[in-house]
Amino acid sequence: MYLSIKQGAIFVADSHYNQKNKQFLLFLKKLENKEIKTTQLFLMGDMIDFISGESKYFIKQNNEILELLNKLSKELEIIYLEGNHDYNLKTLFSNINVIKRENQPLLGKLNNKTVSISHGDNFINWKYDLYCKFIRNSIFLQFMNFIDINFFISKKIEASLVKKNICHKINNFKKLVEKRLENYNTDIVIEGHYHQGETFYIKEKKYINIPSLCCQEQYIIIKNLDFIGESI
């Protein structure tokens, strides 16, 4: 079954929201006050620098974002594709369509074109798949929460993520894209994850890497069936 992608739909990726990267909060507030308008919002993963439904510290740290998203979900359709920094989210969002990694790509249709939508960290290898399954295990995360006395583990993770430089150019990105396209059989492929914000036409397929809201400070909006970059 294909999800209908609407005219005016917005795609946002990789904002890595934390105490340093505040672009996602600015974007959501502009949605709230109607400076940015849409009826369909695709969140492409890694929207928050780290969060899971089991992580009490990070839920508290990101409470403003979570409340805004839940408020906006009552007014517009939100599809949240979990990334490698934000997962097990369903318990946090009652009215948002959360797409887990194992259920990606999400298949959609834009006019008469078929579309695959993924965060972009799928189709890597079996070792990475096993790692992803382990770190998303709810029992493991609850145990980590239990031993996280005074949030000392969470605060170390947070400090490490804040220091990390996530904005850099990938050399030969087109070759990586060519390899990734072997896993898809739709007309259009949309991914985040790579923070490049580039588009390629390869063997009759259109590949769109949604720009990082943190790095390029842009999102994508569909206008006249075309994917247009907009700055926040």
CA 6, distance to chain mean position in Å, is 18
Kindly provide the b/e burial profile for residues 66-105, where b requires at least 16 CB atoms within 10 angstroms of the residue's own CB: bebbeebbeeebbbbbbbbbbbbbeebbeebbbbebeebb
Do residues 70 and 62 make contact, with C-beta atoms less than 8 angstroms apart? Answer: no
For the segment 85-100, what is each residue's pLDDT rounded down to a tens digit?
999 999 999 999 999 9
d(CA 25, CA 27): 5
Specify the pLDDT at position 1: 83
CA 17, distance to chain mean position in Å, is 11
Do residues 189 and 116 make contact, with C-beta atoms less than 8 angstroms apart? Answer: yes
Q: What's the whole-number average pLDDT of the chain?
A: 95
Specify the pLDDT at position 34: 96
Tell me if the pTM is above 0.75.
yes
Provide the residue-wise pLDDT of the chain in tens; the chain has 232 residues: 899 999 999 999 999 999 999 999 999 999 999 999 999 999 999 999 999 999 999 999 999 999 999 999 999 999 999 999 999 999 999 999 999 999 999 999 999 999 999 999 999 999 999 999 999 999 999 998 889 999 999 999 999 999 999 999 999 999 999 999 999 999 999 999 999 999 999 999 999 999 999 999 999 999 998 999 999 9
